Amino acid sequence: MSLSRTGLRMVSRQLRARTQYLPLSSIVSPINDLFSRQSQNQNLMQISNQMRQYSSEGARDIQKELGELVVKNKVVVFMKGVPEAPRCGFSNAVVQILRMHDVQYDAHNVLADEEIRQGIKDFSNWPTIPQIFMEGEFIGGCDILLQMHQSGELGIIFKSFLI
pLDDT digits (tens, 9 = 90+) for 2-58: 445 555 555 555 555 555 555 545 545 555 555 555 556 565 556 655 555 555 556
Residue 158: band (very low, low, confident or very high) from pLDDT cuts 50, 70, 90: confident
> What are the two backbone dihedrals, phi and then psi, of residue 103, each rounded to the nearest 5 degrees?
-100, 135
- Smallest Cα–Cα separation from 139: which of 119, 155, 154, 159? 154
Sort 113 into a burial class: Cβ within 10 Å, 0-12 / 13-18 / 19+: middle
CA distance 47 to 134: 43
pLDDT score at 29: 52
106 within 8 A of 69, measured Cβ to Cβ: yes
Measured CA angle at 158 (ends 157, 162), to 5 deg:
120
pLDDT at position 90, please? Answer: 96
Provide the 8-state DSSP code for 87. S
Cis before 83 (ω within 30):
no
- Alpha helices in the chain, H assignment, sequence order: 2-18, 24-27, 30-57, 62-70, 89-100, 114-124, 142-151, 153-160
